[in-house]
Copies of this chain bind each other. A is one copy, B any other.
Amino acid sequence: MNREQQVLARIERIRRRKPVVREERITLAHGAGGKATHTLIEAVFLEAFRNPLLAPLDDGALLRVGGERLAFTTDSFVVSPLFFPGGDIGDLAVNGTVNDLAMCGARPAHLSAGFVLEEGFPVADLRRITDSMAAAAAAADVTIVTGDTKVVQRGKADGCFITTAGVGLVEQPVTLSASHARPGDAVIVSGPIGEHGAAIMLARDDFGIEAPIASDTAPLHAVVAELLAVMPQHVRTLRDATRGGVATVVNEVANASEVAVVLREDDIPVRPEVTGVCELLGLDPLYVACEGRFVTVVDGEQAGRALEVLRSHPLGAEAAIIGTVAAAPAGLVLLRTSFGGTRVVDVLVGDPLPRIC
Residues of A within 8 A of B (CB): 21, 23-32, 37, 40-41, 44-45, 47-49, 51, 53-54, 60-61, 63, 65-68, 70, 72-78, 80, 109-110, 112-124, 126-127, 130-131, 133-134, 137, 143-153, 155-158, 161, 163, 165, 167, 169, 354-355, 357
Interchain CB contact (< 8 A) of A354 among B75, B133, B151: B151
Q: Quick one: closest B residue to A76, CB to CB?
A: B114
B-side contacts of A131, CB under 8 Å? 48
19 A-B pairs in the complex with CB atoms less than 8 angstroms apart: A25-B121, A26-B119, A26-B122, A28-B119, A44-B126, A45-B130, A48-B127, A48-B134, A49-B137, A49-B144, A63-B109, A63-B167, A65-B70, A68-B68, A72-B112, A72-B145, A75-B114, A78-B156, A116-B163
Inter-subunit contact A31/B78 (CB<8 Å): no
Q: Are B45 and A119 in contact (CB under 8 A)?
A: no
CA distance A118 to B148 in the complex (A): 21
Closest chain B CB from A306 CB (angstroms): 27
CB distance from A161 to the nearest CB of B (A): 5
Q: Which residues of B contact A78 (CB under 8 A)?
A: 116, 150, 152, 156-157
Q: A109 CA to B119 CA in the complex, in Å?
A: 34
What is the bound-complex CA distance between A122 and B24, given in angstroms? 6
Report how many copies the assembly holds.
Answer: 2
Main secondary structure of the interface of A (DSSP, over half): mixed
Contact B126 A26 (CB under 8 A): yes
A132 to chain B, nearest CB (A): 9
Q: How far is the CA of A227 from the CA of B131 in the complex (A)?
A: 41
Task: Judge whether B123 and A63 touch: CB under 8 Å.
Answer: no
Q: Do residues A120 and B25 form an inter-chain contact, with CB atoms below 8 A?
A: yes
B119 touches A150 (CB 8 A): no
In Å, the complex CA distance between A100 and B147 comes to 11
Query: Is B25 a contact partner of A149 (Cβ separation < 8 A)?
Result: no
CB neighbours of A143 from chain B (8 A): 49, 51, 53-54
Least distance between A12 CB and chain B CB atoms (Å): 27
CA gap between A29 and B152 in the complex, in Å? 10
Q: Which residue of B lies closest to A51 (CB)?
A: B143
Q: Give the residues in chain B near A25, CB-CB below 8 Å.
A: 119-123
Tell me the bound Cα distance from A118 to B354 in angstroms.
Answer: 12
How far does the alpha carbon of A302 sit from the alpha carbon of B124 in the complex, in Å? 48
Bound Cα distance A151, B73 (Å) = 19
A21, B123: Cβ atoms under 8 Å?
Answer: yes
Q: Return chain B residues, CB-CB under 8 Å to A63.
A: 109-110, 145, 167
User: How many whole Å from A134's CB to the nearest CB in chain B?
Assistant: 4
Given contacts A26-B120, A157-B157, A163-B114, are A149 and B73 in contact (CB under 8 A)? no
Partner of A72, one of B123, B153, B167: B167
> Which chain B residue has the least Cβ–Cβ distance from A54?
B145
Tell whether, in the assembled complex, residue A114 and residue B74 are in contact, meaning their CB atoms are under 8 Å apart: yes
Q: Are B26 and A121 in contact (CB under 8 A)?
A: yes
CB distance from A1 to the nearest CB of B (A): 37
Selected from B65, B67, B80, B165, the residue in CB contact (under 8 A) with A112 is: B165
- Indicate if the CB atoms of A51 and B144 lie closer than 8 Å: yes
In-complex Cβ contact of A73 among B41, B61, B146, B163 (8 A): B146
CA of A133 to CA of B47, assembled, Å:
12
Q: Which residues of B contact A51 (CB under 8 A)?
A: 143-145
**A116 and B133 alpha carbons, distance in the complex (Å):** 20
A25-B121, A119-B28, A133-B49 as given contacts; A113 in contact with B151, CB under 8 Å: no
